[in-house]
Amino acid sequence: MAVDMGPRRDVPDLEDLSREQRIEAMVAWFFDNFEDPAELTPYESAEGGYQWIWGGPYNALEEIGDAFADFASDEEMQAAADEVESDGLHEWAPNHNRMIEVDEEDVEDVLPPLSERIAALRGQLDQLDEALVGLGQVAPQMGHNRPPEGMRLGLSDDDIREARDSVQDVRGELDKPDPLTNGDPAVLSRAEGRFRSLAIKVRQWAMAAGKLIAAGVAAQVGAELWDDPVALYHKLETIAGTLNHWSSFMQMLF
């Protein structure tokens, strides 16, 4: 089975609600249907940022207006959109809860063949290792002088060291003759686990720090430190996904 993005959820009934309740209902409807692209949308810095494979970017006022134009006033819809964007985010992706399973033959596969993804790993690992070196320099700075809670990166030297060790391990697997059929599932699975664990921590920091930056609370953190963790998160997830499929393929051979 494959996945596709399902339709928007039905709009709620606004009749007999107060102004505040109507705005609250529209905001809730929006977040039922749309989300921060950092949740799931692929990110490729070399391709200009987010790859909107599920549609988007979507604008809060436009989507709320399309859904509620017959049921709410312009002022109420604007207030709802302002509430949605209160954290500073203005581009939205479809909510991943709308994903539905469909037959493989009904959709075009969004991923290239595994052999091509494995071939791309070496360059991705080089980029990842470079990012990890930079992150190792950033992490201590994010924890000193009692920074705001959201600015504490939460990564240890061991996290970064283990991730870099796994970069080397996977490079070793790529150096084998015909790596597609000769990879070590244990090595691949260990690397996948480390990369996903690191991705979770980076994503948590990136989302929290982004809100602080948008609010002007953390002006000392420049755009580069914000962009890099976001790109790093998606790089980690991309590599981990390839390792997962590679390991599964190897286990099917035996």
Tell me, yes or no, whether 129 and 202 share the same domain. yes
Phi, psi (rounded to 5 degrees) for 51? -105, 105
Choose the final residue of a domain: 106, 128, 158. Answer: 106
Segment 213-228 shows an average pLDDT of 41
Tell me, yes or no, whether 52 and 82 share the same domain. yes
158 three-class SS: helix
Q: What is the pLDDT of residue 201?
A: 78
Phi, psi (rounded to 5 degrees) for 205? -65, -45
Tell me, yes or no, whether 127 and 209 share the same domain. yes
Of the segments 56-60, 166-170, 177-181, 182-186, which one has the largest average pLDDT value? 166-170
Tell me, yes or no, whether 142 and 26 share the same domain. no
Are the C-beta atoms of residues 158 and 198 closer than 8 Å to each other? no
Tell me, yes or no, whether 122 and 244 share the same domain. yes
Tell me, yes or no, whether 135 and 21 share the same domain. no
Tell me, yes or no, whether 136 and 248 share the same domain. yes
Please report, in angstroms and rounded to a whole number, the separation of the first and last CA atoms in the chain. 23
Tell me, yes or no, whether 99 and 20 share the same domain. yes
Predicted model pTM: 0.53
CA angle 189, 132, 143 (to 5 degrees): 115
Six-digit token string for 100: 């539905």
Choose the final residue of a domain: 89, 106, 123. Answer: 106
Segment 202-221 shows an average pLDDT of 51
Are the C-beta atoms of residues 159 and 198 closer than 8 Å to each other? yes
Segment 101-116 shows an average pLDDT of 62
Tell me, yes or no, whether 212 and 153 share the same domain. yes
* Whole-number Å distance between alpha carbons of 190 and 85: 39
Lowest mean pLDDT among 37-41, 75-79, 167-171, 195-199: 37-41
- Overall size of the chain counted in residues: 254
Tell me, yes or no, whether 190 and 224 share the same domain. yes
- Confidence grade of residue 233 (pLDDT, cut at 50, 70, 90): confident
Tell me, yes or no, whether 129 and 61 share the same domain. no
Tell me, yes or no, whether 99 and 160 share the same domain. no
Choose the final residue of a domain: 90, 106, 122. Answer: 106
Domain that holds residue 143: 114-253
Domain count, the chain: 2
Phi, psi (rounded to 5 degrees) for 102? -135, 160
